Structure 1
Amino acid sequence: MGAGRSKAVASGLKYCTLWKADRSPACRAVMMALDSMDLSITEVDVNLDKGEHRAPEIAVMNPLQTLPILKDRELVLHDSHAICTYLVSRYCSSSRLLPQDPGGRSVVDQILHFNSSILYPRFQAAAYPILYENCNFVLPQQIYDIESAYKDLESMLISKQWFTGCWPTLGDIALCSILSTLDVLVPIDKTRYPLLSSWLYRMSEEGFYLTANKKGLGEFSRRIDCGCAFDDKIFKCPRSSLRRRALISTQETKT
């Protein structure tokens, strides 16, 4: 499953807690990073539809009232890119997810910045009116902006299988969480973007995609299509990342 090896797989990290919502692509990026390292921390599911992300205990940690939030002892982080790079830098002994040399690290950082400055704002502009403002479709300007991003990403993949190296790195994981979600809103045309489509398919076959992205992506799709709300019955929290992976793997086996 893992692209990198965790320094603390056996016992997990008992001081680390992640507050997250599976339908959020930012949260799924962190979960995929955890699963790619076979790293286990305490995970707490937050019901966005019930406004639990605005609870006082959440607001104290993150005044922006956004998810994900990572707390490691006294350190609190609430940006998915910062969380991912922190976890890899501190707890992963492999450099596959995040190269240690300045050049390789800069290539990954470059993709992370593209993700946060270009893709995520376009996702918000397209999805939030549907999620929170009773809009029933993606607006034409948002479709144009997303298609423009697809075109740029297609050009980045020329002569490459992955965005940041010879295997998936944190850059690919961050892009995957957003692009798999954007694909629900504005499907990636295989004929116009064959490289991007093939990349997303390869990512979808990674173990961490199945355990950390697939379920939340399904929740997002149902929320977009028919407004289905969060189902409290499917969650037992807090629980460990290891337990989540085991539950998802069991469900995948049954299906």
Structure 2
Amino acid sequence: MGSATSRLSGTGLKHCTLWKADRSPACRAVMMALDSMNLSITEVDINMDKGEHRTQEMINLNPLQTLPVFKDRELVICDSHAICTYLAGRYCDSGRLLPQDPGGRSIVDQHLHYNSSIIYPRFKAAAYPIIYESCNFVMPQQIADIDGTYSDLECMLYKRTWFGGSWATLSDIVFASTVSTLNVMVPIDKEKYPRLSSWLYRISDELYFVTANRKGLCEFSRRIDCSSVFDDTEFKCPRSSLARRGQQLKESNLEETR
């Protein structure tokens, strides 16, 4: 499986906690960022179907009642893009995920803003009626908007292997969580968008995609197809990011041997 066979390791940050729901692409972006940096923190699964993100404890942390929520000692951050850049700036010294030069950093920032202002709202407009309002299909306008997103991303990849340049950055991680989710609802046309399709295939083979994105993506797909709620028996919280990575890689390897 290419890089997915890499040896697992992790730097433990016991003073950090992430409250998350795997079906959320925003949460999966943070989890992929953690795994790409080999960081291990305490992760707590929140059952959104039972309204656990609206408990008083969670409201005290995040009045907006959204996920993910990240806490590093007394610092609380409630936006996935801000969490990813904080983790990369605070705990990753290589400068590969988040370039240290102003030019490279501005490109990543530009992509994160595009994701938060354009792609994610289009995801919500298409997915929320199905998840929360018993709608059985993606509306034509949402299909057109998502296709427009694919067109934009295809153009961004012109003469590029990765969105950030020669290697994967936070741009690719954040886009991967959202675009792979959109692809469940509106499959990417490989003939129309060959660069985007190739990029998604390539990043889906990265270890952090396998350990942090696949499970939640399958959960989202089941929810879209069957309107099934999350099974509480799958909850194992709190647990470390390293434990999650090991479990997901083990399950992925078992699936490949069947």
TM-score by length of 1: 0.96
SS in 2 for 1:44: strand
Alignment partners' CA distance in 1, 2:209 and 2:10 = 19
Distance 2:228 2:141 in 1: 26
For 2:199 and 2:225, the matched residues in 1 are separated by 25
Q: Secondary structure at the match of 1:84?
A: helix
The CA distance in 1 between the partners of 2:36 and 2:194, in whole Å, is 26
* Deviation readout 1:95-143 (Å, 9 max, x if unpaired): 1100001000001001001100000000000000000011000011111
Matched to 2:129, the amino acid is P
Q: Are 2:107 and 1:107 aligned? A: yes
- Measured at CA, do residues 19 and 89 of structure 1 come closer, stay the same or move farther in structure 2, by a change above 3 Å? same
2:96 corresponds to 1:96: yes
Equivalence for 1:117: 117
Indicate yes or no: 2:71 matched with 1:71.
yes
2:240 aligned partner, one-letter code: S
Paired letter, 1:229: V
Q: CA deviation at 1:236?
A: 1.2
Contact 2:10 2:242 in 1 (8 A): no
Cα distance in structure 2, aligned partners of 1:146 and 1:165: 24
1:14 paired residue number: 14
Residue in 1 aligned with 2:229?
229
Instruction: Please give the alpha-carbon distance, in whole angstroms, between the structure 2 residues aligned to 1:205 and 1:9.
Output: 20
What letter is aligned with 2:205? E
The answer for the alignment partner of 2:180 in structure 1 is 180
Could you tell me how far 1:58 is from its partner in structure 2? 0.3
Structure 1 segment 13-32 matched on structure 2, within 5 A: 13-32=13-32
What amino acid is the match of 1:121? P
Letter in 2 for 1:151: S
Amino acid paired to 2:186: V
Q: Secondary structure at the match of 2:176?
A: helix
CA contact (8 A) 2:33 2:173 kept: yes
Q: Which residue of 1 aligns with 2:189?
A: 189
SS at match of 1:181: helix
The separation in 2 between residues aligned to 1:9 and 1:22, in whole angstroms, is 20
Distance in 2 between residues matched to 1:237 and 1:221, nearest whole Å: 23
Letter in 2 for 1:210: V
Counterpart of 2:143?
143
Alignment deviations for residues 161-185 of structure 1 (CA, whole Å, 9 cap, x no partner): 1111111100110001000000001
Shift of 1:9: 3.7
SS of equivalent to 1:42: strand
1:35 aligns with 2:35: yes
- Report the counterpart of residue 164 of structure 1 in structure 2: 164
Segment drifting more, 197-206 vs 244-253: 244-253
Percent identity reads: 68
How many aligned residue pairs are there?
Answer: 249
> How far apart, CA to CA, are the structure 1 residues paired with 2:233 and 2:99?
40
Counterpart Cα distance in 2 of 1:132 and 1:236 = 25
SS at match of 2:48: coil
- After superposition, the CA RMSD in angstroms is 1.2
- 2: distance between equivalents of 1:149 and 1:250? 34
> How far did 1:232 drift?
1.2
- Higher alpha-carbon deviation: 213-222 or 225-234: 225-234
SS at match of 1:66: coil
Counterpart residue type for residue 99 of structure 1: P
| Equivalent residue, structure 2, for 1:49 | 49
SS at match of 2:39: coil
Which runs of 5 or more residues in structure 1 are unaligned? Answer: 3-7
Q: 1:9 to 1:93 in 2, by over 3 A?
A: farther
Q: Secondary structure at the match of 1:40?
A: strand
How far residue 93 of structure 1 moved from its aligned partner, in angstroms, is 1.5
Q: Residue type matched to 1:172 in 2? A: D
